[in-house]
Chains A and B, each alone.
Chain A
């Protein structure tokens, strides 16, 4: 490996490591109630693989690569669209309930 290649690898590894630490810091604060929406939300975020699938579709010249990239784009889009919509459906219910019963929520907080 050339020095340039090693530097490129190290840049990527740095980004990877720091992103893991950010993920831990951001996520450990989420209350248990929201864990299912959170899991679903995180699930939509790894749909970012769609960007990669689009880029391999651009480079695909062989029929096999074209087929593989078609499946990859379809899979990734299903992940993105389905993930965000189902998460939004879940969170919508939470929010509506909180707003509607706001006074009761305040009371119980004051009492406890």
Chain B
């Protein structure tokens, strides 16, 4: 064996070690106790795989007759640039803005995967040789999926950041545009497969269609559905990376890409299930111009009782058990520190405070836990839905902050858009206080029967301002 052959074998073994580390790392994310270690194991695997690749490049260069500086310039400059940006943004980001950053990292990952296929195709086109059908299929799939995830994730990130309106944006004739883009892609791909000759113009057309499709797919989807979309796009990137692995015949890309593709798909389904919607419904619901369910079922009318901060403060201060129900509105108003402050004040007065966390509270599953953990809320006070639901009957005051559909008792009856969605049994509490900016409807677009419940008082305020007013009022008691 030549030296190069030996190095090639050792590098493949190192890649295998990296792939195993990814699987073990993901596995260790099973529990909070081992999760951080799992992430480090995965990062270690990544380091090994990248270092091995650098050695492989050196070995190939020296067997090709000498060291060339240009590839190293590209690699070092790219790593310095990307690594610097990644490190800076990841360190500087506020935890509330974390979902959009994850989406941005996802975008560049998908972009890199698409670029690998584009580069490969340019080389094939320059050589002008026949392209095997399997090569063509993987290149086309990599370019399509990678491009959709690139623009789609950027739009999703922009929506979460508030740079693009969070509301569903309806593109005029959106469905026609989608159909046209799909037609361009399919016809272009079939043409390439049939001819077997590399054709750059057709590939550029497919690339453009996929890039536009990523935009039109994500734009019409409302802010509350963004977690599902980001998770779906994460799964797409994994798949695109696996396709890139097929294109350059690299096993570690195939393994890691497939792992992420599978995990993203499962997460997406879990999130959609928790909202009692199908993934297809979320994607097409946007295309069709919003949720048709809106207005289909009118909640029973009824009067709403408005309540002042002082009254709420008295209720809270003299309660024994209080359950806080944080929702999307709390995340938007970035009120997690305000809620912890109020809870600590109440605990000093001997009130037992717990948090009821719905699986889809916040902007991503588990996001609410992260936000509250960041605000130093003790971890054991955060209760999952199934654990906390029996406790509502014993609780004196349920304080709902910016949560809507996940508390709507209408979900227990058939015939409502939220029917069957798992909800928090807030209506079982002895008294209910809802902090909400207005009587605006939740994502499902229906009235929340909880608000017209006779036990419910509505404190109309922004989550942060409302909590600050409550904290001040409790202090004044």
List A residues at the B interface (Cβ < 8 Å): 1, 5, 8-9, 12, 15-17, 19-24, 26-60, 62, 64-66, 68-95, 97-98, 100-101, 104-105, 107-108, 112
30 inter-chain pairs at a CB distance below 8 angstroms, sorted by A residue, are A16-B254, A19-B259, A20-B258, A20-B262, A23-B260, A23-B263, A26-B263, A33-B32, A33-B369, A34-B30, A40-B98, A48-B252, A49-B253, A52-B112, A52-B116, A65-B123, A68-B115, A68-B118, A69-B78, A70-B74, A75-B109, A75-B112, A78-B105, A79-B86, A80-B50, A80-B86, A86-B101, A88-B40, A94-B32, A95-B32
Distance (whole angstroms) from the CB of B476 to the closest CB of chain A? 30
Contacts of B70 in A (CB 8 A): 60, 66
A33:B384 contact, CB within 8 angstroms: yes
Q: Chain B residue with minimal CB distance to A50?
A: B50
Contact A73-B32, Cβ < 8 Å, known A55-B53, A58-B57, A84-B43? no
Q: Which of A54, A82, A83, A91 has the largest number of chain B CB atoms within 10 A?
A: A82
Q: Chain B residue with minimal CB distance to A86?
A: B90
The 8 Å CB contact of B29, one of A41, A43, A52, is: A41
B49:A72 contact, CB within 8 angstroms: no
Distance (whole angstroms) from the CB of A93 to the closest CB of chain B? 4
Contact A78-B245, Cβ < 8 Å, known A43-B102, A46-B237, A58-B71? no
Q: Is B38 an interface residue (CB 8 A)?
A: yes
Q: Is B438 an interface residue (CB 8 A)?
A: no
Q: Chain A residue with minimal CB distance to B357?
A: A33
Q: How far is the CA of A9 from the CA of B246 in the complex (A)?
A: 8
Q: How far is the CA of A36 from the CA of B38 in the complex (A)?
A: 14
Interface bits B20-62 vs A (CB < 8 Å: 1, else 0):
0011011101111101101110110010011001101100110
A78:B42 contact, CB within 8 angstroms: no
Distance (whole angstroms) from the CB of B124 to the closest CB of chain A? 12
B36:A88 contact, CB within 8 angstroms: yes
Contacts of B162 in A (CB 8 A): none
Q: How far is the CA of A4 from the CA of B18 in the complex (A)?
A: 27
How many chain B residues touch A (Cβ–Cβ < 8 Å)? Answer: 120
Which of the 9-residue segments B306-314, B370-378, B401-409 touches chain A?
Answer: B370-378
A78:B373 contact, CB within 8 angstroms: no
Q: Is B87 an interface residue (CB 8 A)?
A: yes
Contact A60-B256, Cβ < 8 Å, known A43-B234, A45-B26, A49-B244? no
Contact A98-B46, Cβ < 8 Å, known A22-B259, A90-B95? no
Q: How far is the CA of A98 from the CA of B249 in the complex (A)?
A: 43
Q: Is B261 an interface residue (CB 8 A)?
A: yes
| CB neighbors of A among B63-112 (8 A) | 70-71, 74-75, 77-79, 81-83, 85-87, 89-91, 93, 95, 98-99, 101-102, 104-106, 108-109, 111-112
A94:B36 contact, CB within 8 angstroms: yes
B22:A45 contact, CB within 8 angstroms: yes
Q: How far is the CA of A54 from the CA of B61 in the complex (A)?
A: 13
The 8 Å CB contact of B86, one of A30, A56, A81, is: A81
Q: How far is the CA of A39 from the CA of B26 in the complex (A)?
A: 10
B270:A32 contact, CB within 8 angstroms: yes
Q: Which of B32, B42, B254, B255 has the largest number of chain A CB atoms within 10 A?
A: B32
Contact A57-B126, Cβ < 8 Å, known A39-B264, A78-B105? no
B261:A56 contact, CB within 8 angstroms: no
Q: Is B434 an interface residue (CB 8 A)?
A: no
Contacts of B471 in A (CB 8 A): none
A44:B36 contact, CB within 8 angstroms: no
Other A-B pairs, 9, CB within 8 Å; known A38-B366, A46-B109, A82-B87: A20-B262, A38-B26, A48-B46, A48-B49, A58-B71, A73-B112, A86-B93, A86-B105, A97-B376
